[in-house]
Homo-oligomer: A and B are copies of this chain.
Amino acid sequence: MQKKINQITIIGTGLIGSSLGLALKRKKISNSIVGIDKSKVNLSNAIKNQSIDESRLKIDFRIQESDIIFLCTPVSLIDPITRKLIPFIKKNTIITDVGSVKNCFDEETIKKSKNFFHIVPGHPIAGTEHSGSKFAEEDLFKNKWCIITPLNNNKKVINIICNIWKKIGMKISIMSVHEHDKIMSITSHLPHLIAFTIVGTAFNIDIKKKKELINFSAGGFRDFTRIGSSDSKMWTDIFIKNKKFILKTLDSFFDDIDILRKCIISNDYQKIYNLLKRTKEIRKKILIQEETKRKN
Protein backbone atom coordinates (compact mmCIF):
# COMPACT_ATOMS: atom_id res chain seq x y z
CA MET A 1 0.00 0.00 0.00
CA GLN A 2 1.13 3.49 -0.82
CA LYS A 3 2.00 5.65 2.17
CA LYS A 4 0.09 8.88 2.73
CA ILE A 5 1.53 11.85 0.86
CA ASN A 6 2.69 14.74 3.04
CA GLN A 7 1.70 17.67 0.86
CA ILE A 8 0.14 18.17 -2.56
CA THR A 9 0.03 21.53 -4.32
CA ILE A 10 -2.66 22.36 -6.84
CA ILE A 11 -1.75 25.21 -9.15
CA GLY A 12 -4.91 26.68 -10.64
CA THR A 13 -7.85 26.33 -8.29
CA GLY A 14 -10.57 26.59 -10.91
CA LEU A 15 -13.31 24.03 -11.46
CA ILE A 16 -10.93 21.11 -12.04
CA GLY A 17 -8.29 22.11 -9.48
CA SER A 18 -10.72 22.66 -6.64
CA SER A 19 -12.82 19.59 -7.49
CA LEU A 20 -9.57 17.63 -7.36
CA GLY A 21 -8.80 19.16 -3.96
CA LEU A 22 -12.20 18.12 -2.64
CA ALA A 23 -11.79 14.55 -3.92
CA LEU A 24 -8.22 14.23 -2.54
CA LYS A 25 -9.38 15.40 0.85
CA ARG A 26 -12.34 13.08 0.98
CA LYS A 27 -10.06 10.14 0.23
CA LYS A 28 -7.45 11.43 2.72
CA ILE A 29 -4.72 11.10 0.10
CA SER A 30 -2.50 13.89 1.45
CA ASN A 31 -1.85 15.40 4.89
CA SER A 32 -2.30 18.88 3.47
CA ILE A 33 -3.32 20.52 0.23
CA VAL A 34 -2.00 23.88 -0.92
CA GLY A 35 -3.74 25.89 -3.62
CA ILE A 36 -1.93 28.45 -5.75
CA ASP A 37 -3.80 30.83 -8.03
CA LYS A 38 -3.44 34.41 -9.15
CA SER A 39 -7.21 34.84 -8.71
CA LYS A 40 -8.07 35.83 -5.14
CA VAL A 41 -11.70 34.93 -5.78
CA ASN A 42 -10.82 31.36 -6.80
CA LEU A 43 -8.58 30.98 -3.77
CA SER A 44 -11.07 32.34 -1.29
CA ASN A 45 -13.86 30.16 -2.71
CA ALA A 46 -11.55 27.14 -2.57
CA ILE A 47 -10.75 27.85 1.08
CA LYS A 48 -14.44 28.42 1.77
CA ASN A 49 -15.54 25.09 0.28
CA GLN A 50 -12.52 23.39 1.89
CA SER A 51 -11.03 22.09 -1.32
CA ILE A 52 -7.63 23.40 -0.17
CA ASP A 53 -6.06 23.88 3.28
CA GLU A 54 -3.81 26.78 2.45
CA SER A 55 -3.92 29.41 -0.29
CA ARG A 56 -1.03 31.20 -1.97
CA LEU A 57 -0.91 33.87 -4.64
CA LYS A 58 2.54 32.98 -5.91
CA ILE A 59 5.04 30.23 -6.46
CA ASP A 60 8.02 30.41 -4.07
CA PHE A 61 10.43 28.32 -1.93
CA ARG A 62 7.55 26.99 0.19
CA ILE A 63 6.65 24.62 -2.65
CA GLN A 64 9.63 22.41 -1.71
CA GLU A 65 7.36 20.94 0.96
CA SER A 66 5.19 19.38 -1.74
CA ASP A 67 5.75 15.84 -3.05
CA ILE A 68 3.35 16.20 -5.94
CA ILE A 69 2.24 19.24 -7.90
CA PHE A 70 -0.93 19.22 -10.02
CA LEU A 71 -1.02 21.86 -12.75
CA CYS A 72 -4.69 22.67 -13.33
CA THR A 73 -4.29 25.75 -15.49
CA PRO A 74 -5.16 26.45 -19.14
CA VAL A 75 -2.81 24.36 -21.31
CA SER A 76 -0.73 27.31 -22.51
CA LEU A 77 0.48 27.88 -18.94
CA ILE A 78 1.54 24.31 -18.17
CA ASP A 79 5.04 24.58 -19.58
CA PRO A 80 5.83 28.15 -18.41
CA ILE A 81 4.69 27.30 -14.87
CA THR A 82 6.75 24.10 -14.83
CA ARG A 83 9.82 26.13 -15.76
CA LYS A 84 8.96 28.64 -13.05
CA LEU A 85 8.77 25.81 -10.52
CA ILE A 86 12.22 24.33 -11.24
CA PRO A 87 14.26 26.68 -8.98
CA PHE A 88 12.00 25.96 -6.00
CA ILE A 89 11.08 22.27 -6.03
CA LYS A 90 12.93 19.49 -4.22
CA LYS A 91 14.51 16.50 -5.96
CA ASN A 92 12.07 13.83 -7.21
CA THR A 93 9.02 16.08 -7.03
CA ILE A 94 6.31 14.76 -9.35
CA ILE A 95 4.75 17.35 -11.62
CA THR A 96 1.54 16.28 -13.30
CA ASP A 97 -1.23 18.14 -15.08
CA VAL A 98 -4.84 17.90 -16.24
CA GLY A 99 -4.57 19.56 -19.66
CA SER A 100 -6.80 18.58 -22.58
CA VAL A 101 -3.79 18.63 -24.89
CA LYS A 102 -0.91 16.40 -23.87
CA ASN A 103 1.71 17.93 -26.15
CA CYS A 104 2.01 20.68 -23.55
CA PHE A 105 5.51 20.25 -22.10
CA ASP A 106 8.38 21.64 -24.20
CA GLU A 107 11.23 19.32 -25.15
CA GLU A 108 13.62 21.54 -23.23
CA THR A 109 11.57 21.31 -20.04
CA ILE A 110 11.40 17.53 -20.36
CA LYS A 111 15.20 17.42 -20.78
CA LYS A 112 15.67 19.54 -17.67
CA SER A 113 13.50 17.17 -15.62
CA LYS A 114 15.86 14.21 -16.17
CA ASN A 115 17.57 13.05 -12.99
CA PHE A 116 15.95 15.87 -11.06
CA PHE A 117 12.15 15.80 -11.06
CA HIS A 118 9.38 13.80 -12.76
CA ILE A 119 6.79 14.82 -15.31
CA VAL A 120 3.68 12.64 -15.70
CA PRO A 121 1.22 14.21 -18.14
CA GLY A 122 -2.42 13.37 -17.40
CA HIS A 123 -5.89 14.23 -18.62
CA PRO A 124 -8.92 13.46 -16.49
CA ILE A 125 -11.84 13.65 -18.93
CA ALA A 126 -14.24 15.48 -16.69
CA GLY A 127 -15.72 18.93 -16.45
CA THR A 128 -18.86 20.95 -16.80
CA GLU A 129 -19.63 24.09 -18.77
CA HIS A 130 -18.94 26.11 -15.60
CA SER A 131 -15.63 27.54 -14.48
CA GLY A 132 -14.22 28.59 -11.11
CA SER A 133 -13.81 26.96 -7.73
CA LYS A 134 -17.30 27.96 -6.64
CA PHE A 135 -18.61 25.20 -8.92
CA ALA A 136 -16.29 22.55 -7.42
CA GLU A 137 -17.82 19.05 -7.26
CA GLU A 138 -16.41 16.28 -5.11
CA ASP A 139 -17.70 13.63 -7.54
CA LEU A 140 -16.59 15.32 -10.76
CA PHE A 141 -14.11 12.54 -11.61
CA LYS A 142 -16.10 9.54 -10.43
CA ASN A 143 -16.42 6.76 -13.04
CA LYS A 144 -14.84 8.94 -15.72
CA TRP A 145 -11.70 8.15 -17.71
CA CYS A 146 -8.27 9.58 -17.01
CA ILE A 147 -5.68 9.31 -19.76
CA ILE A 148 -2.03 9.17 -18.73
CA THR A 149 0.61 9.78 -21.43
CA PRO A 150 3.97 8.80 -19.85
CA LEU A 151 7.13 10.41 -21.21
CA ASN A 152 9.39 7.57 -20.03
CA ASN A 153 9.28 4.13 -18.45
CA ASN A 154 9.45 5.09 -14.78
CA LYS A 155 6.65 2.79 -13.64
CA LYS A 156 6.92 3.64 -9.96
CA VAL A 157 6.26 7.31 -10.56
CA ILE A 158 3.56 6.68 -13.19
CA ASN A 159 1.80 4.36 -10.74
CA ILE A 160 1.77 6.99 -7.99
CA ILE A 161 -0.21 9.32 -10.26
CA CYS A 162 -2.44 6.55 -11.65
CA ASN A 163 -3.25 5.39 -8.13
CA ILE A 164 -4.31 8.87 -7.02
CA TRP A 165 -6.78 9.15 -9.91
CA LYS A 166 -7.99 5.61 -9.28
CA LYS A 167 -8.56 6.33 -5.61
CA ILE A 168 -10.82 9.24 -6.48
CA GLY A 169 -12.85 7.01 -8.76
CA MET A 170 -11.33 7.29 -12.23
CA LYS A 171 -10.64 4.57 -14.79
CA ILE A 172 -7.14 4.78 -16.28
CA SER A 173 -6.05 4.51 -19.91
CA ILE A 174 -2.38 4.72 -20.85
CA MET A 175 -1.43 5.92 -24.33
CA SER A 176 1.08 8.09 -26.17
CA VAL A 177 0.89 11.88 -26.28
CA HIS A 178 0.38 11.63 -30.05
CA GLU A 179 -2.49 9.13 -29.76
CA HIS A 180 -4.18 11.20 -27.05
CA ASP A 181 -4.05 14.44 -29.00
CA LYS A 182 -5.37 12.74 -32.14
CA ILE A 183 -8.28 11.09 -30.31
CA MET A 184 -9.21 14.27 -28.47
CA SER A 185 -9.15 16.28 -31.71
CA ILE A 186 -12.15 14.26 -32.88
CA THR A 187 -14.03 13.35 -29.69
CA SER A 188 -13.76 16.70 -27.98
CA HIS A 189 -11.92 19.49 -29.80
CA LEU A 190 -13.79 19.32 -33.12
CA PRO A 191 -17.22 19.06 -31.43
CA HIS A 192 -16.34 22.16 -29.41
CA LEU A 193 -15.04 24.01 -32.48
CA ILE A 194 -18.32 23.24 -34.23
CA ALA A 195 -20.47 24.12 -31.23
CA PHE A 196 -18.73 27.46 -30.70
CA THR A 197 -19.21 28.24 -34.39
CA ILE A 198 -22.80 27.16 -34.90
CA VAL A 199 -24.17 29.37 -32.15
CA GLY A 200 -22.64 32.34 -33.96
CA THR A 201 -23.96 31.13 -37.32
CA ALA A 202 -27.47 30.88 -35.87
CA PHE A 203 -27.42 34.43 -34.61
CA ASN A 204 -26.07 35.82 -37.85
CA ILE A 205 -28.93 34.38 -39.86
CA ASP A 206 -31.63 36.77 -40.93
CA ILE A 207 -34.82 35.61 -39.21
CA LYS A 208 -37.65 37.47 -37.56
CA LYS A 209 -38.03 35.14 -34.59
CA LYS A 210 -34.37 35.34 -33.54
CA LYS A 211 -35.30 35.88 -29.92
CA GLU A 212 -37.30 32.69 -29.95
CA LEU A 213 -34.67 30.64 -31.74
CA ILE A 214 -33.85 28.72 -28.61
CA ASN A 215 -37.46 27.64 -28.13
CA PHE A 216 -37.31 25.65 -31.30
CA SER A 217 -34.00 24.01 -30.64
CA ALA A 218 -34.93 20.78 -28.90
CA GLY A 219 -33.36 18.81 -31.71
CA GLY A 220 -29.67 19.51 -31.48
CA PHE A 221 -29.02 23.23 -31.19
CA ARG A 222 -29.61 23.45 -27.45
CA ASP A 223 -26.90 20.84 -26.77
CA PHE A 224 -24.57 22.79 -29.02
CA THR A 225 -25.09 26.03 -27.06
CA ARG A 226 -24.30 24.17 -23.85
CA ILE A 227 -21.04 22.78 -25.22
CA GLY A 228 -20.30 26.14 -26.83
CA SER A 229 -20.49 28.01 -23.56
CA SER A 230 -17.40 26.39 -22.03
CA ASP A 231 -14.52 28.52 -20.81
CA SER A 232 -13.21 30.73 -23.65
CA LYS A 233 -9.63 31.02 -22.44
CA MET A 234 -9.25 27.31 -21.87
CA TRP A 235 -10.59 26.49 -25.33
CA THR A 236 -8.55 29.14 -27.15
CA ASP A 237 -5.49 27.48 -25.64
CA ILE A 238 -6.62 24.01 -26.66
CA PHE A 239 -7.33 25.04 -30.26
CA ILE A 240 -3.87 26.59 -30.60
CA LYS A 241 -1.96 23.88 -28.72
CA ASN A 242 -3.55 20.99 -30.60
CA LYS A 243 -3.54 22.86 -33.90
CA LYS A 244 -1.79 20.08 -35.82
CA PHE A 245 -4.42 17.42 -35.16
CA ILE A 246 -7.40 19.77 -35.04
CA LEU A 247 -6.67 21.11 -38.52
CA LYS A 248 -6.26 17.60 -39.92
CA THR A 249 -9.46 16.39 -38.28
CA LEU A 250 -11.30 19.48 -39.46
CA ASP A 251 -10.17 18.75 -43.03
CA SER A 252 -11.48 15.17 -42.83
CA PHE A 253 -14.75 16.49 -41.45
CA PHE A 254 -15.02 19.05 -44.27
CA ASP A 255 -14.42 16.28 -46.83
CA ASP A 256 -17.08 14.09 -45.26
CA ILE A 257 -19.70 16.80 -44.95
CA ASP A 258 -19.00 17.83 -48.53
CA ILE A 259 -19.88 14.33 -49.71
CA LEU A 260 -23.24 14.65 -47.96
CA ARG A 261 -23.67 18.19 -49.32
CA LYS A 262 -23.14 17.05 -52.90
CA CYS A 263 -25.64 14.21 -52.43
CA ILE A 264 -28.22 16.73 -51.20
CA ILE A 265 -27.58 18.99 -54.20
CA SER A 266 -28.06 16.09 -56.62
CA ASN A 267 -31.05 14.64 -54.70
CA ASP A 268 -29.19 11.35 -54.34
CA TYR A 269 -31.66 9.84 -51.92
CA GLN A 270 -30.09 6.38 -51.76
CA LYS A 271 -26.56 7.62 -51.06
CA ILE A 272 -27.71 10.00 -48.30
CA TYR A 273 -29.72 7.18 -46.76
CA ASN A 274 -26.70 4.86 -46.80
CA LEU A 275 -24.44 7.49 -45.21
CA LEU A 276 -26.97 8.14 -42.45
CA LYS A 277 -27.60 4.48 -41.84
CA ARG A 278 -23.89 3.88 -41.42
CA THR A 279 -23.79 6.31 -38.48
CA LYS A 280 -26.60 4.45 -36.84
CA GLU A 281 -24.76 1.17 -37.24
CA ILE A 282 -21.56 2.61 -35.78
CA ARG A 283 -23.51 3.80 -32.77
CA LYS A 284 -25.19 0.43 -32.38
CA LYS A 285 -21.77 -1.26 -32.31
CA ILE A 286 -20.60 1.19 -29.68
CA LEU A 287 -23.62 0.51 -27.51
CA ILE A 288 -23.24 -3.28 -27.80
CA GLN A 289 -19.57 -2.87 -26.86
CA GLU A 290 -20.42 -0.78 -23.81
CA GLU A 291 -23.10 -3.26 -22.76
CA THR A 292 -20.67 -6.19 -23.06
CA LYS A 293 -18.05 -4.32 -21.04
CA ARG A 294 -20.50 -3.53 -18.28
CA LYS A 295 -21.56 -7.16 -18.03
CA ASN A 296 -17.95 -8.45 -17.82
The reply to whether B219 and A127 form a contact with Cβ atoms under 8 Å apart is yes
Number of chain copies forming the complex: 2
A190 proximity list for chain B (CB < 8 A): 198, 201, 220
A6 lies within 8 A of chain B by Cβ: no
A217 proximity list for chain B (CB < 8 A): 187-188
Give which listed residue, B173, B219, B226, B252, contacts A216 with CB less than 8 A.
B173
Distance to closest chain B CB from A266 (angstroms): 10
Distance to closest chain B CB from A191 (angstroms): 3
A164-193 residues with Cβ-Cβ distance < 8 A to B are 171, 173, 175, 179, 182-184, 186-188, 190-193
A221 proximity list for chain B (CB < 8 A): 186-188, 191
A209 proximity list for chain B (CB < 8 A): 173, 175, 179, 183
A223 lies within 8 A of chain B by Cβ: yes
Given contacts A179-B207, A220-B188, A261-B250, contact A199 B232 (CB under 8 A): no
A233 lies within 8 A of chain B by Cβ: yes
A41 proximity list for chain B (CB < 8 A): none
Give which listed residue, B100, B196, B212, contacts A173 with CB less than 8 A.
B212
Whole-angstrom CA separation of A208 from B183 in the bound complex: 9
Mark A114-128 against chain B: 1 for CB-CB distance below 8 A, else 0: 000000000001110
Mark A201-225 against chain B: 1 for CB-CB distance below 8 A, else 0: 1111101110111111111110111
A135 lies within 8 A of chain B by Cβ: no
| Stretch from A16-24, A52-60, A62-70, A240-248 that touches the partner | A240-248
The reply to whether A260 and B197 form a contact with Cβ atoms under 8 Å apart is yes
Whole-angstrom CA separation of A196 from B3 in the bound complex: 49
Whole-angstrom CA separation of A250 from B204 in the bound complex: 13
Closest to A192 in B: B220
Whole-angstrom CA separation of A284 from B253 in the bound complex: 29
The reply to whether A283 and B199 form a contact with Cβ atoms under 8 Å apart is yes
A276 lies within 8 A of chain B by Cβ: yes
A163 lies within 8 A of chain B by Cβ: no
A267 lies within 8 A of chain B by Cβ: yes
Mark A97-134 against chain B: 1 for CB-CB distance below 8 A, else 0: 00010000000000000000000000001110000000
Give which listed residue, B200, B219, B253, B286, contacts A275 with CB less than 8 A.
B200
A207 proximity list for chain B (CB < 8 A): 179, 182-183
A275 proximity list for chain B (CB < 8 A): 196, 200
The reply to whether B239 and A264 form a contact with Cβ atoms under 8 Å apart is yes
What are 20 sample pairs from A and B whose C-beta atoms fall under 8 A apart?
Answer: A100-B219, A145-B218, A173-B216, A175-B209, A187-B202, A187-B216, A188-B219, A190-B220, A195-B279, A197-B257, A198-B256, A201-B252, A204-B252, A214-B289, A228-B279, A228-B283, A229-B284, A236-B273, A239-B260, A243-B265
